[in-house]
Structure 1
Amino acid sequence: MSSSFNVHKASGYEQLMGRWSQKLALPFIDFAGVEDGDRIVDVGCGTGSLTFALAHSRRIQAIEAIDFSSVFVEEALRRNNDPRITIRQADACALPFETASFDRALALLVLHFIPEAKKAIGEMRRVTRPGGTVAAVVWDHLGGMAGMRMMIDTVAALSEAGRQLRSRYCFQPMIQPGEMKRAFIEGGLLDVEETQLMIRMNYENFDDYWGPIAAGEGPLGAFVGKLDGAERAQVDAAVRDAYEAGRPDGPRSFANVAWACRGRVP
Structure 2
Amino acid sequence: MAEQQIRFDDGAGYEQMMGIWSRFAGEIFLDWLALPSGLRWIDVGCGNGAFTELLVERCRPVEVQGIDPSEGQLAFARTRPASRLAKFHQGDAMALPFADSSFDAAVMALVLVFVPDPAKGVSEMVRVVVPGGAVVTYMWDMLGGGFPLDPIYYEIQAMGIVPTRPPRMDASRMEALRDLWIGAGLEDVQTREITVHRTFANFDDFWMTSLKSPALRPTVAAMKAGDVETLISRVRARLPEDADGRITCGARAHAVRGRRPK
Q: TM-score, normalised by structure 1?
A: 0.88
Instruction: Describe how 1:21-36 pairs up with structure 2 within 5 A.
Output: 21-36=22-37
- The match for 2:79 is 78
Q: 1:206 deviation in Å?
A: 1.0
Deviating above 4 A after TM superposition, structure 1's stretches of 4 or more consecutive aligned residues are 168-171
Quick one: distance in 1 between partners of 2:116 and 2:239? 31
Displacement of 1:48 in angstroms is 1.2
For residue 196 of structure 2, give the secondary structure of its aligned residue in structure 1. strand
Q: Distance in 2 between matches of 1:126 and 1:171?
A: 22
Q: Any idea what the Cα deviations from partners look like across 1:158-197, whole Å, max 9, x if unmatched?
A: 12x2xx439x569713112311110111111111111111
Which of 232, 236, 245 does residue 236 from structure 1 map onto? 232
Map 1:1-266 onto structure 2 (within 5 A): 4-80=5-81, 82-145=83-146, 148-159=149-160, 161=161, 164-165=162-163, 168=165, 172-215=169-212, 217-244=213-240, 250-266=245-261
User: Separation in 1 of the partners of 2:148 and 2:76?
Assistant: 26
Moved more, 6-15 or 253-262: 6-15
Deviations 1:47-76 (A, max 9, x none): 212211111112211000111111110000
Which ranges in structure 2 are unaligned for 5 or more consecutive residues?
A: none
Q: Which has the higher mean CA deviation after the structures are superposed, 193-202 or 142-151?
A: 142-151
Distance of 2:11 and 2:240 partners within structure 1: 27
What is the percentage of aligned positions where both structures have the same residue? 31
- How many pairs does the alignment contain? 259
1:126-179 CA-partner distances (Å, limit 9, x unpaired): 0001000100000012324275322122112212x2xx439x569713112311
SS in 2 for 1:78: coil
In the TM superposition, residue 79 of structure 1 has moved relative to its aligned partner by: 1.7
Aligned partner letter, 1:176 = R
Residue 236 of structure 1 and its aligned partner are, at CA, apart by 2.7
Q: Which range moved further: 96-105 or 198-207?
A: 198-207
Cα distance in 1 for partners of 2:4, 2:117 equals 9
TM-score by length of structure 2 reads: 0.89
Compared CA separation, residues 147 and 53, structure 1 to 2 (3 A): closer
Give the gaps of 5 or more residues in structure 1.
Answer: none
Distance 1:115 1:82, change over 3 A: closer
User: What value does the CA root-mean-square deviation take over the aligned residues?
Assistant: 2.5
Contact 1:63 1:85 (C-alpha < 8 Å) held by counterparts: yes
Query: Tell me, what secondary structure is at the counterpart of 2:215?
Result: helix
SS of the counterpart of 2:256? strand
Quote how far apart the aligned CAs of 1:109 are. Answer: 0.5
